[in-house]
C-alpha cells in the first residue's frame, strides 16, 4: 500500500515508518497539516495516517478538507487525544478509524490491514438508495422525493450505516462502533434518541416509513420497493 503519514512528532513518526516499511508499505511522511492536505489531494494514496495536533492545520480540518475534495481513501487518526468526544469528532469529519497514542505497532499494522481489506469506493457507491430516499456520500446530502433533508453529522452517519446495510438488521453494537467509535455499551439511550430524531426528518409525513425497529436486535432500513 502507498501510505501518507502526517505526523510532527519525530519519535512517533520514526516508529510508524519503521513498522510500515517492514510490512512492505510505501510511506511518505509530512510534518504539518497544510502540506499534508496538499499532498493528500495531489497524490493518490491507499491510506492516510493523520495526527490531530499538527502545525499549520489541525488534523480535523485536514480530514474535513480531504473529504470535501472528494478524497475517498481511508483515514486513520493516530493521536494522543483520547476522549470519547475526540473520537466522535474524528469519525464525524470523515475518519475511518481512530487509534490513541501511545500505541503498539502491532495494533497499528492490524488496523492498517483491516482498512486495506475494505473494498475500494467507486463513483457509483457515492449514492445510497432506499426507495425514494437518496444519500450522497460525496456531497454529504440527503433527499427524499427530490426534497432535501438537512441532517446533523451524527444523523447522517447513522443513516449512512443503515443504508449500507439496507434490508439487514444493524445491531446497537454495530451502530455504537461505526457512528460513535465506542467498543462498549454505554448506559444511555443515545442511539434511541438519535434514531428518533432521524425518523422525524426522514420518515415524516407524507413519506412512508423506511426505518424499522427490530425489537431485541436493532434497526433496519427497508428497501422501500
The per-residue pLDDT for range 28-77, each reduced to its tens digit, is 999 999 999 999 998 989 999 999 999 999 999 999 899 878 788 899 99
Domain range list for the chain: 2-116, 123-221
The span from the CA of 60 to the CA of 112, in Å, is 19
| Mean confidence (pLDDT) of the chain | 88
Q: What is residue 12's predicted lDDT score, i.e. its pLDDT? A: 94
Q: What is residue 160's predicted lDDT score, i.e. its pLDDT? A: 92
Is a pLDDT exceeding 70 seen at residue 120? no
Grid coordinates representing 151?
A: 441532517
Answer CATH for 2-116 from 3.40.50.2300, 2.60.120.620, 3.40.50.80, 3.30.460.20? 3.40.50.2300
The segment with the largest mean pLDDT, out of 17-26, 76-85, 134-143, 174-183, is 17-26
89-119 pLDDT per residue, tens:
888 888 989 999 999 999 999 999 988 887 6
Q: What is residue 36's predicted lDDT score, i.e. its pLDDT? A: 95
Q: Is residue 157 a contact partner of residue 194, using CB atoms and an 8 Å limit? A: no
In 56-207, which residue ranges form alpha helices assigned H by DSSP? 59-68, 84-92, 105-116, 153-164, 172-180, 190-202
Q: Is residue 52 a contact partner of residue 90, using CB atoms and an 8 Å limit? A: yes
Q: What is the mean pLDDT of residues 122-149?
A: 83
pTM: 0.58
The span from the CA of 222 to the CA of 169, in Å, is 10
Percent of residues, the chain, with pLDDT higher than 70: 93
Q: Do 2-116 and 123-221 share a fold? A: no
Grid coordinates representing 210?
A: 423506511
**Fold (CATH) for 123-221:** Arc Repressor Mutant, subunit A (1.10.10)
Q: What are residue 41's phi and psi, to 5 degrees? A: -85, -40
In the beta sheet, which residues pair with residue 26? Answer: 2
Return the closest-CA partner of residue 198 out of 206, 187, 188, 210. Answer: 210
Q: What is residue 122's predicted lDDT score, i.e. its pLDDT? A: 53
139-149 pLDDT per residue, tens:
888 999 888 99
The span from the CA of 93 to the CA of 62, in Å, is 9
63-82 pLDDT per residue, tens:
989 987 878 889 999 999 98
Query: pLDDT band at 16, cuts 50/70/90?
Result: very high
Return the closest-CA partner of residue 72 out of 136, 137, 3. Answer: 137
Amino acid at each position: 500500500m502507498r501510505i501518507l503519514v502526517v505526523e510532527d512528532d519525530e519519535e512517533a513518526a520514526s516508529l510508524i515508518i519503521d513498522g510500515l516499511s517492514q510490512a512492505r508499505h510505501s510511506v511518505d511522511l509530512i510534518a504539518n497539516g497544510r502540506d499534508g492536505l496538499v499532498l493528500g489531494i495531489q497524490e493518490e494514496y491507499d491510506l492516510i495516517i493523520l495526527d490531530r495536533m499538527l502545525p499549520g492545520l489541525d488534523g480535523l480540518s485536514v480530514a474535513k478538507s480531504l473529504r470535501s475534495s472528494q478524497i475517498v481513501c481511508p483515514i486513520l487518526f493516530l493521536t494522543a487525544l483520547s476522549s470519547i468526544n475526540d473520537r466522535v469528532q474524528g469519525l464525524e469529519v470523515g475518519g475511518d478509524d481512530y487509534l490513541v497514542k501511545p500505541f503498539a505497532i502491532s495494533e497499528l499494522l492490524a488496523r492498517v490491514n483491516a482498512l486495506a481489506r475494505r473494498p475500494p469506493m467507486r463513483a457509483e457507491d457515492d449514492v445510497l438508495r432506499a426507495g425514494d430516499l437518496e444519500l450522497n456520500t460525496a456531497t454529504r446530502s440527503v433527499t427524499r422525493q427530490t426534497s432535501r433533508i438537512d441532517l446533523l453529522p451524527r444523523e447522517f452517519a447513522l443513516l449512512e450505516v443503515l443504508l449500507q446495510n439496507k434490508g439487514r438488521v444493524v445491531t446497537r453494537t454495530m451502530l455504537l462502533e461505526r457512528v460513535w467509535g465506542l467498543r462498549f455499551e454505554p448506559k444511555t439511550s443515545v442511539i434511541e434518541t438519535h434514531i428518533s430524531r432521524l425518523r422525524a426528518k426522514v420518515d415524516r409525513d407524507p413519506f412512508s416509513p423506511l426505518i424499522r425497529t427490530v425489537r431485541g436486535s436493532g434497526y433496519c432500513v427497508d428497501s422501500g420497493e
